[in-house]
Structure formats: structure tokens, C-alpha cells
């Protein structure tokens, strides 16, 4: 049962990171309407770039977690 909780905890963290990216994109869109568009756009684009890297890393972890869960599921079905 501990492993299942660990996997769920990891999936929850991955979900939080993806939600943070969405919030960054919404904020960037809001800031684009600002008078200081050039400065804000640069900051927002750098922020989005950092978040996209985090999402890329997160998706790799998610792929590993799903693979692990599928492997455990297959093991359980053979018993």
C-alpha cells in the first residue's frame, strides 16, 4: 500500500506543476495587455520557458510512473 501512496503523491505533484504552467500562461496573457508590453513579455516568456522545462521533466516522470503502474497491474493480473 505504501508504494501506491508514493505513486499517487508523485502524480499529485506532477499535476501541481502542470497547473502552475497554466497559471503562468494566463498571467502572461493578462500582462500582454499592459503598457509595458516589451518588458513584461520578456519576463513572461522567460517564465514560460522555465515552466515548460519543468513540465517536460514532469511529463518524463509521469511516463515513468505510468509505466511502473502498468507493470504492477500486469503482474497482478497474472497471479
pLDDT digits (tens, 9 = 90+) for 6-54: 877 888 888 888 888 878 877 877 776 665 667 777 788 888 888 888 8
- Residue 14: predicted pLDDT: 83
The C-alpha atoms of residue 46 and residue 61 are separated, in whole angstroms, by 23
Print burial letters for 31-70: b (CB count within 10 Å at least 16), e (below 16).
Answer: beeeeeeeebeeebeebbeebeeebeebeeebeebeeeee
- Residue 37: predicted pLDDT: 61
Among all chains, which residue has been given the C-alpha cell 518524463?
A: 60
Q: Considering the entire predicted model, what is its pTM?
A: 0.47
Name the residue range of residue 63's domain.
2-78
For the chain, the domain total comes to 1
- Residue 63: predicted pLDDT: 86
Residue 77 has pLDDT above 80, yes or no: no
- Residue 46: predicted pLDDT: 85
Amino acid at each position: 500500500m505504501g508504494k501506491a501512496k508514493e505513486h499517487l503523491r508523485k502524480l499529485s505533484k506532477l499535476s501541481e506543476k502542470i497547473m502552475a504552467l497554466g497559471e503562468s500562461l494566463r498571467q502572461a496573457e493578462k500582462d500582454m495587455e499592459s503598457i509595458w508590453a516589451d518588458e513584461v513579455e520578456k519576463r513572461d516568456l522567460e517564465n514560460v520557458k522555465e515552466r515548460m522545462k519543468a513540465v517536460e521533466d514532469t511529463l518524463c516522470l509521469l511516463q515513468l510512473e505510468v509505466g511502473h503502474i502498468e507493470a504492477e497491474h500486469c503482474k497482478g493480473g497474472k497471479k
